[in-house]
Structure 1
Amino acid sequence: MKSLFETESARSIIERLDLLDNNSQALWGKMDVGQMLKHCQGPLNIALQKQVVVTQLSFFKRLMMKLYKPFLYNNTPWKHDLPTIEEFRVTTPQSFTTEREHLEQLIAEFSEKTDVKTWPNHPLFGYFTPEQWGKMQYKHLDHHLSQFGV
């Protein structure tokens, strides 16, 4: 599994972002390209402690999150149209250029932190190792870039 901490993997994500334009169409899902770019910033902001998510989960949902957690960073592709938490839902129009620039900055900032040994707990999934954080971030971005055919 690729990781956003790998220089070549981070570079490939940026190259794929550069293939998008304001008219890129999703192959599935409800977000347009600007909304997707904004959405993809959420998990990076969480890891970089730039956003706080306070979501109350029932016992059943916490159990489901524990069962689903390994799929976030393993080699199994994510399914289409997975649910997302309210804080990461983007339904309003977004500036394609602005959101792509912000996402590229966050990717660069995150991918440079290869020597960080302790990351914050994820608000829904709890503890991730640095390796799992890198793989999860790569996999999330890969999923959404595939959503837009790049």
Structure 2
Amino acid sequence: MKTIFEQATRDELINRINSLNENNVAQWGKMNVYQMVKHCRMWEEMINGDIICKRAFIGRIFGRLALKNSVKDDHPMMKKAPASPEVIVTETSGDFSTEKKKWISLMEGHARFSNLGFIHPFFGKMTKEQIGYLAYKHSDHHLRQFNS
């Protein structure tokens, strides 16, 4: 399975991010490409510990089981998966280029990942291995959403 902690995987994702432009249209979901790029940048900040998300009650009940199912193989994330309110982007426009650069910088930063105490708002406490798999799947999910 691909993990964000492998250089080749990061390079692949960065190339796909670089291929995005403001004219990309979503294949599913409600976000436009600017919102997706900003959401992904914020999601990366969340796993780094820079954005703290409130733990979902239902996640406390089902999160561990759902995590095992999510990272057991290389099957893509399901379409229209819910997001934590803290990483939902409501504004429909902004500096697309800057958001892409920030996202890429955060991707490159995974070479030095150190937030081993990360607690996902739904899945709960995760190992570094699980974080790596899920981070790849999250970025891949949204890049596929916009045909990249």
Question: Which range is displaced more, 137-146 or 121-130?
Answer: 121-130
Gaps of 5+ in 2: none
Q: How many residues align?
A: 146
Could you tell me which residue of structure 2 aligns to residue 72 of structure 1? 70
> Is residue 85 from structure 1 mapped to residue 84 from structure 2 by the alignment?
yes
Q: Select which of 105, 117, 120 maps to 1:122.
A: 120
TM-score (norm 2): 0.88
Give 3-state SS (helix, strand or coil) of 1:112's partner: helix
TM-score (norm 1): 0.87
C-alpha distance in 2 between matches for 1:3 and 1:35: 24
C-alpha distance in 2 between matches for 1:16 and 1:119: 29
- Contact 2:59–2:121 (CA<8 Å) still a contact in 1? no
C-alpha distance in 2 between matches for 1:63 and 1:3: 26
Gaps of 5+ in 1: none
- Structure 2 counterparts to residues 7-86 of structure 1, below 5 A: 7-57=7-57, 60-74=58-72, 75-86=74-85
- Contact 1:28–1:147 (CA<8 Å) still a contact in 2? yes
RMSD: 1.8
Per-residue deviation, 1:117:
8.2
C-alpha distance in 2 between matches for 1:4 and 1:21: 23
- Contact 1:71–1:78 (CA<8 Å) still a contact in 2? no
Per-residue deviation, 1:11:
0.2
Give 3-state SS (helix, strand or coil) of 1:70's partner: helix
C-alpha distance in 2 between matches for 1:91 and 1:28: 17
Give identity over the alignment, percent: 32
